[in-house]
Amino acid sequence: MDMKISKLSLLLLIPLLSCVNTGDQGASNKSLESEQKIAASKSVAFNTLVKGTGGPTVIFESGLGTPLNNWTNIQNSIAANYQTISYDRKGIGGSPAALKPRTLENLVSDLDSLISQNNIDGPIILVGHSLGGHIIRKYQELFPSKIKGLFLIDPTNEYLYEEVFKAMSQSAADSMKAAWDSSFKSGTTGVYAEWKEVYANDLLMRNCPLPTDIPITILASYQANSFLTAENARIKKEQFSAWQKDKPNVKIVNTSNSGHYIHLGEPEWVVQQLEVFLQSLDS
């Protein structure tokens, strides 16, 4: 893993809770020069990269504050056989600022707008990292007929941080929360707008269990770092395992070779796992 990713994984003990903007916007713009880019208009409000042909359509949903070019390696590979779409959410990367709070409801609504603007009726495979996991799970709950499968990359778990905080003293938990908030508040407006909703999102997702009627693969990182102590790793495994209980359609694959940004730390492995997942849909 490169130096940039390593620093992120240590930032204020938040490698799992959410994502910060790890992409260089100049690199993002450069990557779009030779690819199809949906032109900005009144009806299209997202900086979007569409690449490849063939179905099902694979849509990438980023983690908190993360621009579309974090998917470059994965999207380039998967686009060889499928139509793929990555995009910047409003307030992130090359997309315009958001006029509404970044509630889960509004994030899901924006994803639906993206799908409609690209005239995609289905079938669709949603790939989500971190906060993106919440977004695609909620979208699938609201529009089940459109979604053929979910592929989650170290997704946010709606109970994990409550359980971690329970194992800490109140003062330590309060200090950690204050440090996180201070860090995000000092960043960009768009990223902080997403951050402000994370605890509310967790509460909402507790009423959105994983479905039982479509295939789901979860990639989980257990690389030790300043947050993922042995005890917190135990809590994480317990919460992830609860997702799988009585759901034979849910597959969990673990790695300790990369941190929260598995798709950046182990892109070839992620591509391999995603290709296996996509091929299984046709078998």
- pLDDT tier at 252, thresholds 50, 70, 90: very high
Answer whether residue 26 shows pLDDT above 70: no
> How far apart are the C-alpha atoms of 18 and 210, rounded to whole Å?
20
pLDDT in the model for residue 283: 64
Number of helices followed by number of strands (H, E) in the chain: 12, 8
Q: Let me know if 206 is exposed, middle or buried by CB neighbors in 10 A (0-12, 13-18, 19+).
A: exposed
pLDDT in tens, 187-205: 999 999 999 999 999 999 9
Answer whether residue 5 shows pLDDT above 70: no
**Domains of the chain, earliest start first:** 27-281 (3.40.50.1820)
| Stronger pLDDT, 4 or 178, i.e. the higher one | 178
